[in-house]
Amino acid sequence: MCFGDEVPEHPAHLGFIDPHCYVQDSIKDAYENAQFLCEGYYLKSPSLEIRSVNTISPDEPICIAYVPSHLYHIMFELFKNSMRATVEYAESRKESNTLPPIIVDIVKAKEDLTIRISDRGGGIPRSKVDKIFRYMYSTAPRPVSLTDSQHSGPVPLAGFGYGLPISRLYARYFNGDMEIHSIDGYGTDAYVYLQTVEDQASEWLPICNRAAYEYYTSRRYQSDWTKKK
């Protein structure tokens, strides 16, 4: 049974992997949903500026073989953190009427796709930077349980303590990574690195037997279904 009146754009889509995942679309989707939560909680939100550079095909939108839901989750968590920091820092400085925008730079090169999310939310002290990827660590107050029947307030943006650790786990799943660099008193830059070359974006799983060890130590790579013909 078909739902809707549009034919799927990518018939090569297999499972959760989209061989033509348009990065900017996923980023905008994540921003809009994070913005909805931010405005529901703070009644305001910073705007978004996107700058993209495709060094491989300058006239084409940036896309890679990736799991769109993973990219969405990563960006959604980073946007929530940036929005919360931006709004609260501006309020602490009595500048909440002019929120600085969140700037996203997307660069696709031969090996890496790099996404940088820059905010001016006051930054993170060096004493806390090493803690932000710890599970259950959060600088936000612990939110009220969503199962509490007496809780009727807005949905919290942060406080659960697993957003960044899981986001980095998603980024690393296909040989990518995520890093946080901050200037205390100014703002934070979050870097998301993803593989541009499909052959290098293999999933990394725990080595639990000899077969897995031989698979990961082998340097023989073969083209798969994501490779363009």
Give the pLDDT confidence of 74-102 residue by residue, as tens digits.
999 999 999 999 999 999 999 878 899 99
Residue 179 placed within a domain: yes
Choose the catalytic residue: 13, 70, 73, 110: 73
Residue 118 placed within a domain: yes
Q: Which domain holds residue 186?
A: 18-141+156-217
Please give the Cα distance from 188 to 179 (Å, whole number). 11
- Coil, strand or helix at 200: helix
Where residue 184 sits, what CATH number does that domain have? 3.30.565.10
Residue whose pair of structure tokens reads 């307030």 in the numeric block:
153
Please give the Cα distance from 167 to 194 (Å, whole number). 13
Helix ranges (DSSP H) in 43-162: 68-92, 126-129
Q: Is residue 77 annotated as a catalytic residue, yes or no?
A: yes
Which are the contacts of 195, defined by CB distance < 8 A and separation ≥ 6?
Answer: 64, 111, 112, 113, 174, 175, 176, 201
Choose the catalytic residue: 70, 81, 108, 198: 81
Residue 29 placed within a domain: yes
Q: Is residue 80 annotated as a catalytic residue, yes or no?
A: yes
Total number of domains constituting the chain: 1
Residue 150 placed within a domain: no
Q: Is residue 6 annotated as a catalytic residue, yes or no?
A: no
Residue 98 placed within a domain: yes
Choose the catalytic residue: 70, 80, 108, 198: 80
Give the pLDDT confidence of 141-183 residue by residue, as tens digits.
555 555 555 545 555 554 445 679 999 999 998 889 999 999 9
Residue 149 placed within a domain: no
Residue 24 placed within a domain: yes
| pLDDT for residue 228 | 54
Residue 223 placed within a domain: no
Please give the residue that has the higher pLDDT: either 210 or 125: 125
Please give the Cα distance from 185 to 123 (Å, whole number). 5
